[in-house]
Homo-oligomer: A and B are copies of this chain.
Amino acid sequence: MAKDKKKKVQRPKALPPKGFRDYFGSDVVERQEMLAAISDVYQRYGFDPLETSGVETVEALGKFLPDVDRPNEGVFGWQDEDETWMALRYDLTAPLARVYAQHRNDLPTPYRRYAMGPVWRNEKPGPGRYRQFYQCDADTVGTASMAADAEICAMLSDALEVVGIPRGDYVVRINNRKVLNGVMEVAGLGDVEGQARERGIVLRAIDKLDRLGETGVRALLGAGRKDESGDFTDGAGLTDAQADVVMGFMSAGRDTGADTCAALRDLVDGSEMGLKGVDELEEIAALLAAQGYGPDRIVIDPSVVRGLGYYTGPVYEAELTFEILDEKGRKRQFGSVAGGGRYDDLVKRFTGQEVPATGVSIGVDRLLAALREKGRLSTKAKGPVVVTVMDRDRMADYQTMVSELRQAGIRAEVYLGNPKNFGNQLKYADQRDSPVAVIEGSQEKEQGVVQIKDLALGARLAAEMETNEEWKSQPAQMEIKRSDLVAEVRKMIARADG
């Protein structure tokens, strides 16, 4: 029995599940501010918010995923009491499909909607790869007009600038899946089913142009390619003439959209599908040019691929063009932060009807990382003014001070820990990124004054000081009239900000 008593209590581990994480303080505020700014842009373009719940039936989710061809796995699922299978949504497009199918008679046509929120993937977590993350989507459902695609590209460009990516540091690239299909046709790979393997290799090769260069891509188009490690990748087995067509496609980018389109038109000559694609690109380019979105913001770029197995027309992506250092210290471009395109089977699973749609998804975490990289998150949540407690019986006095400060819009709090050790109060203020500490001992109270301390200047020294006397000797501290508290604190904060 005595033995039993000694048994250690089994306590739960204080950890989130594997692959999940917490966001503290400024991380939360920064994301919210970024998404609010993007919402404003989307609203101005006439897009309406839609918020579905995190849970859908597995039946409704299906295996619909615009970017990736994947089976219906990788979701977190369970059975409801009535045996219905339910799962956490893995993206924001599958719920849109369900909502549009459900409410299509009541929703306006076309339906412009945006959605922001967490999605869940039941995948192996890794460094920087989480099983819950934010997505931010905008889609226009129910119109085949190229104006819808052009509009989303313009809106994407506006959104990037609004959150703090300056013009010149990003480019929105547009391609068209029909043009690529036309190129395949001209290159003799027009048989979508029969030449699926070859078409796949060509797509992946185009997608790797950045990394492998022209020689590498050409090897993959032909017999195959051996990489530095000696590994061999099978090629598509194209003849030189066929490969020339594909290489010509990738290098068809010109200085203006009109010139690029002309080059593409030559290239896909003879393919009806290809020519239709060029028409679509030209229409988009013209619409954007009329609104002043020139090649400094949006370009026609034949090298954009983006999960083309799925898209049916225009595809687009936003790349950040400024350089960062990769994990090995090498310079590279920041890369893609958003992408999307046109797809036509959004609600077909539910209704049998094809409904044309086009939409974009912004990578919230990547865009936040980019803004952090560029030092654009100046909005970092400010720490509060901390009113210290010199005399624990006068808590009401200290509460009155913070009340006055808050009414003036200044973030402020009273120290509510054990006030005995004054050094701990200063350490606390330091930990809170506090710009100003306020001190009112009984002597100050009598004289109608308070001490205010500029912690931006004094933070590093603070941790070493244990007594009020030492503290007072610091130069960043000043005595002010109690009645001037709000005005003087405001001045001190402004000084720290400037």
Please indicate the chain B residues that have their CB under 8 angstroms from the CB of A414 in the complex. 147, 151
Is A399 a contact partner of B132 (Cβ separation < 8 A)?
A: no
Most buried by B among A18, A44, A412: A44
Please indicate the chain B residues that have their CB under 8 angstroms from the CB of A400 in the complex. 290-291
Please indicate the chain B residues that have their CB under 8 angstroms from the CB of A150 in the complex. 399
Please tell me if A49 contacts chain B, counting CB pairs below 8 Å.
Answer: yes
**Knowing A17-B55, A147-B399, A290-B400 touch, does A417 contact B48 (C-beta < 8 A)?**
no
Please indicate the chain B residues that have their CB under 8 angstroms from the CB of A78 in the complex. 76-78
- Segment from A106-114, A227-235, A306-314 that makes contact with B: A106-114
> Of B14, B24, B57, B132, which is within 8 A of A55 by CB?
B132
A386-B18 Cα distance, complex, nearest whole Å: 48
**Knowing A76-B78, A109-B417, A406-B44 touch, does A55 contact B11 (C-beta < 8 A)?**
no
Interface residues of A, dominant DSSP: mixed
A396-B293 Cα distance, complex, nearest whole Å: 12
Interface range, A side: 35 or more
A413-B409 Cα distance, complex, nearest whole Å: 37
A292-B27 Cα distance, complex, nearest whole Å: 34
Is A396 a contact partner of B290 (Cβ separation < 8 A)?
A: yes
**In this complex, what residue of B is CB-closest to A133?**
B53
Please indicate the chain B residues that have their CB under 8 angstroms from the CB of A142 in the complex. 417
Pairs across A and B, CB under 8 Å, 23 listed: A11-B352, A13-B60, A14-B102, A16-B98, A17-B57, A18-B82, A18-B84, A20-B56, A21-B53, A25-B48, A25-B50, A44-B412, A46-B413, A46-B432, A53-B118, A53-B132, A54-B118, A76-B78, A76-B86, A108-B432, A109-B428, A140-B416, A145-B416
A407 CB to closest chain B CB, in angstroms? 9
Please tell me if A381 contacts chain B, counting CB pairs below 8 Å.
Answer: yes
**Knowing A12-B62, A54-B120, A132-B53 touch, does A80 contact B25 (C-beta < 8 A)?**
no
Where the two chains meet, the residues of A that have a C-beta atom closer than 8 Å to any C-beta of B are: 9, 11-18, 20-25, 27-29, 32, 36, 43-46, 48-57, 59-60, 62, 76-78, 80, 82, 84, 86, 88, 98-99, 101-102, 108-110, 112, 118, 120, 131-132, 140, 142-143, 145, 147-148, 150-151, 154, 158, 286-287, 289-292, 347, 349-352, 381, 384, 386, 395-397, 399-400, 402-403, 406, 409-414, 416-417, 428, 431-432
Most buried by B among A18, A110, A143, A396: A396
Please indicate the chain B residues that have their CB under 8 angstroms from the CB of A44 in the complex. 406, 409-412
**In this complex, what residue of B is CB-closest to A50?**
B24
Is A22 a contact partner of B350 (Cβ separation < 8 A)?
A: no
Is B291 a contact partner of A43 (Cβ separation < 8 A)?
A: no
**Knowing A52-B16, A287-B399, A400-B291 touch, does A22 contact B99 (C-beta < 8 A)?**
yes
Is B11 a contact partner of A350 (Cβ separation < 8 A)?
A: yes
Is B50 a contact partner of A15 (Cβ separation < 8 A)?
A: no
Please indicate the chain B residues that have their CB under 8 angstroms from the CB of A82 in the complex. 18
Is B399 a contact partner of A46 (Cβ separation < 8 A)?
A: no
A391 CB to closest chain B CB, in angstroms? 13
A144-B57 Cα distance, complex, nearest whole Å: 45
**In this complex, what residue of B is CB-closest to A428?**
B108
A198-B11 Cα distance, complex, nearest whole Å: 33
Please indicate the chain B residues that have their CB under 8 angstroms from the CB of A36 in the complex. 32, 36
A257 CB to closest chain B CB, in angstroms? 13
**In this complex, what residue of B is CB-closest to A140?**
B416
Please indicate the chain B residues that have their CB under 8 angstroms from the CB of A409 in the complex. 44
Is A292 a contact partner of B403 (Cβ separation < 8 A)?
A: yes
Please indicate the chain B residues that have their CB under 8 angstroms from the CB of A132 in the complex. 53-55
Please indicate the chain B residues that have their CB under 8 angstroms from the CB of A143 in the complex. 416-417
A265-B498 Cα distance, complex, nearest whole Å: 54
> Of B22, B29, B431, which is within 8 A of A53 by CB?
B22
A126-B341 Cα distance, complex, nearest whole Å: 40
> Of B11, B29, B131, B399, which is within 8 A of A291 by CB?
B399
Is B23 a contact partner of A51 (Cβ separation < 8 A)?
A: yes
**Knowing A77-B78, A286-B396, A290-B400 touch, does A16 contact B46 (C-beta < 8 A)?**
no
**In this complex, what residue of B is CB-closest to A290?**
B396
A332 CB to closest chain B CB, in angstroms? 30
Contacts A45-B412, A53-B118 given; 12 further ones with Cβ under 8 A? A11-B351, A15-B102, A16-B60, A16-B98, A17-B80, A23-B49, A24-B48, A45-B411, A109-B417, A143-B416, A290-B400, A292-B403
A21-B403 Cα distance, complex, nearest whole Å: 40
